[in-house]
């Protein structure tokens, strides 16, 4: 049986050996996040490598390290990196982020992990926890982010909307302060499901807040969504 990748304008994503498929969340964070200083990027929970490849395309001077704990996704990311024109600037490591201890810090940390949707104030259901190879709580992710981020760097995440306030609170306890927010709706009548958050070590007097609606109707995309993603999607 032939393998058909998900084709973007400058790279392909094979995803046949992992459950972590190309999705809107990854495309959004890869299109929206920015690097303002330096050239070192860390992608936590890279899956197939989609976000890393998008950032490699957007920022041609950057060096990108990616972390992926799931072995099948890790192997798929290697394949996608090696098949790309950006392969010299991409590395992927098969390790939990909790155990990742590089010798340098990063100018941008980005994450679209397959969150086990946990409120840090509530205990895990032990049966659900047993089905997880590992669990990554918001606290653990933000602990590591605060340790690995350069003083002038930024960190960007995509998370469920109903976890926003909790996430911002946990981050602030680690001296990471919100600087940009993008609220995402599927269409103008749908409820908020996702939010993109950018943090830095500097507290901003004014937080930049925007809202993005993806579709006007089924497969009819808004101008805002097209403008954000047109450098990647073939048909945008």
pLDDT tens for residues 74-95?
Answer: 999 999 999 999 999 999 999 9
Average pLDDT score over residue span 172-194: 96
Q: How confident is the model at residue 115 (pLDDT cuts 50, 70, 90)?
A: low
Q: How confident is the model at residue 175 (pLDDT cuts 50, 70, 90)?
A: very high
Other CB atoms within a 10 A radius of the CB of residue 17 amount to 14
Residue 55, CB-side half-sphere exposure with 13 Å CA sphere: 31
Dump pLDDT digits (tens) for 188-224.
Answer: 999 998 999 999 999 999 999 999 999 998 889 999 9
Dihedral sign computed on CA atoms, order 33, 69, 14, 218: negative
Q: What is the pLDDT of residue 125?
A: 45
> Is 152's pLDDT higher than 80?
yes
Between 6 and 113, where is the model more confident?
Answer: 6
> Is 41's pLDDT higher than 80?
yes
Domains, the chain, with CATH or none? 27-229 (3.40.50.150)
Of 190, 182, 162, nearest in space to 229 by CA: 182
Between 123 and 102, where is the model more confident?
Answer: 102
Q: What is the pLDDT of residue 146?
A: 98
Q: How confident is the model at residue 2 (pLDDT cuts 50, 70, 90)?
A: low
Is residue 105 a contact partner of residue 63, using CB atoms and an 8 Å limit? Answer: no
**φ, ψ (nearest 5 deg) of residue 29:** -70, -35
pTM (predicted TM-score)? 0.91
């Amino acid at each position: 049986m032939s393998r058909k990748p998900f084709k973007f304008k400058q790279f392909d994503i094979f995803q046949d050996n992992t459950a972590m498929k190309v999705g809107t969340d990854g495309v959004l964070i890869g299109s929206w996040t920015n690097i303002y200083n330096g050239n070192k990027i860390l992608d936590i929970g890279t899956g197939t490598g989609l976000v890393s490849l998008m950032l490699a395309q957007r920022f041609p001077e950057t060096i990108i390290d990616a972390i992926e704990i799931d072995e099948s996704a890790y192997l798929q990311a290697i394949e996608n990196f090696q098949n790309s024109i950006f392969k010299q600037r991409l590395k992927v490591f098969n390790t939990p982020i909790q155990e990742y201890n590089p010798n340098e810090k990063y100018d941008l940390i980005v994450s679209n992990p397959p969150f086990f949707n946990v409120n840090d104030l509530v205990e895990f259901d032990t049966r659900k926890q047993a089905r997880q190879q590992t669990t990554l709580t918001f606290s653990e992710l933000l602990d590591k982010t605060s340790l690995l981020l350069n003083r002038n760097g930024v960190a960007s995440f995509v998370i469920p909307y109903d976890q926003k306030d909790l996430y911002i609170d946990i981050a602030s306890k680690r001296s990471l302060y919100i600087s940009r927010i993008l609220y995402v709706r599927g269409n103008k009548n749908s409820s908020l499901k996702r939010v993109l958050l950018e943090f830095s070590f500097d507290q901003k007097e004014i937080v930049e807040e925007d809202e993005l609606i993806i579709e006007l109707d089924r497969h009819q995309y808004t101008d805002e969504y097209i403008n954000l993603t047109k450098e990647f999607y073939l048909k945008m």
